[in-house]
Amino acid sequence: MASAHRILLFDIDGTLVTTGGAGAVAWKQAFQELHGIPADIGEFTDSGMTDPDVGTETFKAVLHRDPTRQELAQLLQRRQQHLPEAVAESKGYNVLPGVPERLAQLSRDGHLLGIITGNGESAAHTKLARGDLNRWFTFGAYAEAGIDRPGIVRKAVERGERLLGMDVPNEDILVIGDTPKDIDAAHAVGCSAVGVATGHYDEAQLREAGADHVVATLESELPLG
């Protein structure tokens, strides 16, 4: 397959940017306003979980029952209302090393860049906007209630192939992420997984999780040969 037809799917948090806890701030405000509890999502969730799962697990932990679909939808909506200010005001927000330069190079080389993320669509674009990174992505797949991370990758593959107007062998599609959940999702759909050690997992842990390739940061070339 010609390298110009590569589909490259990027996670956001810990891979492209770190928001310095802005997401947790917005979740805390949403829980406080809706349920009178300033819940700390870090106590109940793991890196790589989708937003609906984060909301559900935190809700269960602090309110001791499952949320209804309406309650979860309201929680996600209220969290998004607070996220733009939380991201804008975060002193810890950073675009991770090599990201703008790598995305520019991959785009110039003709690769199709997409987003795969556990964030909802609005949250994803909010997080990317402060770093001026939305410009590099023409499509993506995002978290929705009832869809797991493999489902997000599967949807992104379909959208990328539709844009290209051709089927692409899944093993020639790269999923680039910073957690074992990204690696597992890639492999569940038959894609290649590239681990980036800029999140909570180091290179050894990402290799142990089964990544096909591992890079320390996106300052390194991706394995596109």
Give mean pLDDT in consecutive 10-residue pieces for the chain, a chain of 225 residues: 73 96 94 93 81 93 95 96 97 98 96 96 96 97 88 96 92 95 96 96 98 98 87
Segments making up each domain of the chain, as ranges: 3-19+94-215, 22-89
What token pair was written down for 187? Answer: 């492999």
Give me the pLDDT at residue 1, please.
38
Identify the CA nearest to 122 among candidates 144, 107, 150: 144
Residue 86, helix vs strand vs coil: helix
Does the fold of domain 22-89 match that of domain 3-19+94-215? no
What token pair was written down for 53? Answer: 């799962």
Span 22-89: which CATH code?
1.10.150
Q: How many CB atoms are closer than 10 A to CB 169?
A: 9
- The strand pair at 17-18 and 94-95 is best described as antiparallel
Cα 96 to Cα 59, 78, 198, distances in angstroms: 31, 28, 7
Q: What is the DSSP letter of 5?
A: G
Tokens 């733009």 locate to: 84
CATH architecture observed for domain 3-19+94-215: 3-Layer(aba) Sandwich (3.40)
The alpha-helical segments, DSSP class H, found in 189-223 are: 203-208
Q: How many angstroms from the chain centroid is the CA of residue 133?
A: 13
pTM: 0.93
